[in-house]
A and B are shown apart, each in its own frame.
Chain A
Amino acid sequence: MNAPFDMNRRQILRTTGFLTLTFAMPSNLFAQEVQSPEGVGISGGPGLPTDLKKNPMLSSWLRINSDGTVTLLIGKVELGQGNRTAIAQVCAEELGVNFSRLQIIAGDTKLCPDEGVTSGSTSMPDGATAVQYASAEARGILLGLAATKLGQPAETMKVKDGTITAGNGKTVTYWDLVVGKALDVKATGNPKRENPSDYTIVGTSMPRVDIPAKMTGGEIFIQDMHPEGVVYGMVARPPNYRSKLKSIDLGPIEKMPGVIKVVRNGSFLGVIAKTKDEAMAASAALGKAGKWDVPNDMIGNAAIYDWLLKAPSSPNVIHTQKRTSSGTPAKTVEATYRRPYVMHGSIGASAAIAQLGTDGVMTIHTHSQSVWQTAEAIAKMLKVDNDKVRCIHTQGSGCYGHNMADDAAADAALLAAAVPGMPVKLQYTRAQEHQWEPYSSAMVIKIKAGVDNDGNVLDWETDVWSTSHATRPGGNAGNLLSAQYLDPPFKQPTPRDIPGPNFGSGRNAIPLYEFPGKIVTTHFVSEMPIRVSSTRSLGAHPNIFALESFIDELARNANVDPLEYRLRFLKDERARAVLMKAADLFGWSGYKRKPNYGRGIAFARYKNYAALTAVAMEIRVTPRNGQVQVLRVAVADDSGQVVNPNGLANQMEGAVIQSLSWTLKEEVKFSDSAILSSDWASYPILTFQEVPKIDVALINQPGMPFLGTGEAGQGPTAAAVANAIYDAVGVRLYTLPLTPDRVKEAMNAKK
């Protein structure tokens, strides 16, 4: 029964004469969303990139197969961001083989190097850098082997698509050379890398390897998989977070058509049936059959900002710079910004397939971003050893962070454990996805600045209030939703803010502008009235919305063009370059004013050390109803060495559109007893008729570190909208989303 479930991978691993592999043991990563401090993928030791340091054996990354193929094993997984293709490009480039020779296996806890979580825009800085170094080093080893074999010095050799040619014209191929354990060595971190000016694969818009199957109905998503003997699992959730199941009569449900098994454990309810229709009918009946204790003590969404400010929190000064110059500010400007909970909102409800094998191993196909740590959490939930849970990453609908993927994996496992041998396929309903996913935290940001007579900032002060941005499974069963409802329940650990100034609620709260005095404080609220976790860009979306709105307000107060004002305080050349590039692409200087049309600009360097992004846009406000239409957006981005320009632009376009949706439309609504945003009607997102034209300009930095791009557009986009609204109709909005009602109300108040 295992065979069909696992076949593709077995076929891929059918090898003859491969290098013996030594798999690095999964390392227990200490924290979530912790990225390399400099954003260059290199930390903790000279030369060795982060992920290579964790998994130093070259053979845990690369396998040179005697059939002329190369197997690349990676821990960073494809989420629709195109990292599979881009990382493979880097491998092919440094190893010296054609791209088409690569077979890629990603995110299998049994086979791949543990690269932790695919998050925080680290696939390129961490993942690709590790692959770059490993591939370059492998190439050096192969050249050494060739030198011995051909009796020629390695320095004279050239490589083309795996064929090595020595100075005397003799040749040998990688596939001839590889016998034994040549790559069973630790990386030194000091390989000879290719000269960026010689790149032929890196820097090209290689078409994405996963796209054709997605366009033609190929089998590629978990949702497409139907292992032999598959059965369908569904869960029934409680009425709200803190409900408890008092009693339930399972008898009638067990008798429903197609039902194989009904599972109850504490307040966890699930059902396994022969068809999906039968599973859905039975789980709906299950939900209704329960007698629940339903506490009505949730804070409604309208009251959440006051709650955040009053809840117990731990102030943490994440940045301070004392002003050395004297003088008292001529004026103090203050503003308070609010961002509600927003959801990941994957189009495909989360899914997983789990099967308990005769060897006692629970094998789970999951679209989790954190296969290793989720496997460990599930093992703890099932009370089995870690090696009894194997997670295999298989693509799912885009997740944009920690959505319900891990919970689906856990729920499939809970159900599969009740029917040993049967592969259980689970996909949530829309309401289950919408109402139970861990949202991006609501936040409040207060900024205060003392300015001189020319409007220049002397002192800057930011305070940020937020609940957690990191409740990923992280090897802890208590972070799995259903585990909290079992008997006995697993308690969710009290979250901490992610350490470091740029990782969680404080991400991008520190202005990069060179003001004389700065102090930035986060007020982390560990209580979670609403389930929250990592969502694309974490605190950066609200923080940059606040910071870049405020800068704009200061510029207006000073009667200075907002672009010019920013450049006045921004000394970093790369930062200045992206701002000017975006302005140029937009046509900032020759902009013609029209009533109710406006332009806005904003900038950020993601995490203050990763990709640099500036966004300029034009919008139109309809005064009658306050409707904002975004007309066109110009983006300039510097993500370091560009690997795949088309893929990078794709990520940036997606970031802009998703951020426009959050910024203009989205707010999770909840009453005292339930999450009210349960579908796309009650939680609308941006549609085709609302999407603007987007132009992206990339600033390539040959040979510079990969900076990662996936999340860099979220923040600047938000602020650019707010700034453009001000430009168009002279009202400044401080609370997201920037709905027509809010625009209209502000316009009325101004009159």
Chain B
Amino acid sequence: MLSFKLNGRDITTDAPSDATLLWVLTDDLKQHGVKFGCGLSQCGACDVMIDGAVVRSCQTKLSSAGGRSVTTLAGLMENGKASKLQQAFIDEQAAQCGYCLSGMIMTAQALLDRNPTPTESDVRAALNGNLCRCGTHTRIIRAVLRAAA
């Protein structure tokens, strides 16, 4: 039995402590905003926050979440509404397929948390490890800057 906070709620799971955090979040806890892309820490589709820091959940064991606070894309919502950053992504229509987006938004949120007024090159640097195949990059950059404004 392992306990942690998921998006502010207390969770106890009987999944083994060496289970992959990604699969516990998606398959057991139905966190749709967590995506499997590579399983190799190369793409960022699976990014979530543990205690405010972005981790690649595909390469993170469940045990790392024990006693800590995990935030997924759904956890960024405020009172059932899109957060400022999520709304900025919607306003910029910053998606094609959107598969990479949850990781992008988590990583961007972590950037804004530590630097509320990033420059364009800060945004590019922060997101450089997150891959998008559809080519939505320029819109994603605009969305992050819009949320910071």
Contacts and interface: CB of A to CB of B under 8 A. Distances in A.
Same complex: yes
Interface string A696-728: 000000000000000000000000000000000
Contacts of B27: 226, 230, 232, 275-276
A188 interface: no
Contacts, number: 179
A688 B44 CA distance: 13
Contacts of A429: 39
A427 B33 contact: no
B97 to A, nearest CB: 3
A685 interface: yes
B68 to A, nearest CB: 20
B73 A216 contact: yes
A347 B72 contact: no
Contact of A653 (B23, B76, B89, B139): B139
Contact of A679 (B38, B100, B127, B130): B38
Chain A CB within 10 A, most for which of B43, B45, B134, B135: B135
Contacts of A689: 124-125, 128
A212 B128 CA distance: 24
B138 A400 contact: no
B135 A430 contact: no
A691 B125 CA distance: 12
B56 to A, nearest CB: 13
Contacts of B38: 349, 430, 679-680
Contact of A224 (B32, B42, B138): B32
Contacts of A349: 36-38
A384 B136 CA distance: 42
A36 B140 CA distance: 35
A347 B43 contact: yes
B146 to A, nearest CB: 13
Interface string B43-87: 101000000000000000000000000001111110000100010
A277 B19 contact: yes
Contacts of B82: 212, 215-216
B2 interface: no
Interface string A665-701: 0000000000000011100011111010110000000
Given A656-B135, A679-B38, A685-B131, A216 B99 contact: no
B93 interface: yes
A446 B72 CA distance: 52
A129 to B, nearest CB: 23
B90 A215 contact: yes
A395 interface: yes
Nearest to A232: B27
B118 to A, nearest CB: 13
A126 B116 CA distance: 46
A58 interface: no
Contacts of A226: 27, 30
B133 A347 contact: yes
Contact of B19 (A216, A275, A646, A657): A275
Interface string A178-216: 000000000000000000000000000101101110111
Given A218-B32, A427-B36, A691 B138 contact: yes
B37 A395 contact: no
Contacts of B11: none
A216 B77 contact: yes
A521 interface: no
B31 interface: yes
A367 B39 CA distance: 20
Which of A395, A427, A650 lies at the interface centre, i.e. has the most chain B CB atoms within 10 A of its CB?
A650
A81 interface: yes
B141 interface: yes
A28 B83 CA distance: 47
Contact of A348 (B31, B36, B93, B138): B36
A693 B138 contact: yes
Contacts of B139: 650, 653
A680 B131 contact: yes
B93 A275 contact: no
Interface residues of A, number: 61
A214 B124 contact: no
Kindly state the interface size class of chain B when it binds its partner.
Answer: 35 or more
Contacts of B76: 216
A228 interface: no
Given A217-B102, A348-B37, A679-B40, A694 B133 contact: no
A430 B31 contact: no
A697 B75 CA distance: 38
A223 B36 contact: yes
Contacts of A693: 138
A25 interface: no
A223 B33 CA distance: 10
B95 A214 contact: yes
B74 A215 contact: no
A207 B97 contact: no
Given A224-B32, A430-B39, A688-B127, A214 B135 contact: no
A688 B101 contact: no
A174 to B, nearest CB: 30
A387 interface: no
Nearest to B86: A215
A189 to B, nearest CB: 33
A398 interface: yes
B5 interface: no
B132 interface: yes
B77 to A, nearest CB: 6
B105 interface: yes
B99 A396 contact: yes
A688 B137 contact: yes
Nearest to A81: B96
Given A80-B134, A347-B132, A217 B90 contact: no
A631 to B, nearest CB: 13
A691 B124 CA distance: 9
Given A655-B135, A687-B128, A650 B39 contact: no
B12 to A, nearest CB: 17
A216 B23 contact: no
12 contacts: A80-B98, A80-B134, A215-B95, A216-B76, A217-B31, A275-B19, A276-B23, A427-B36, A430-B42, A655-B135, A657-B137, A681-B40
Given A215-B101, A276-B27, 6 more contacts: A80-B96, A215-B82, A216-B74, A216-B77, A349-B37, A680-B40
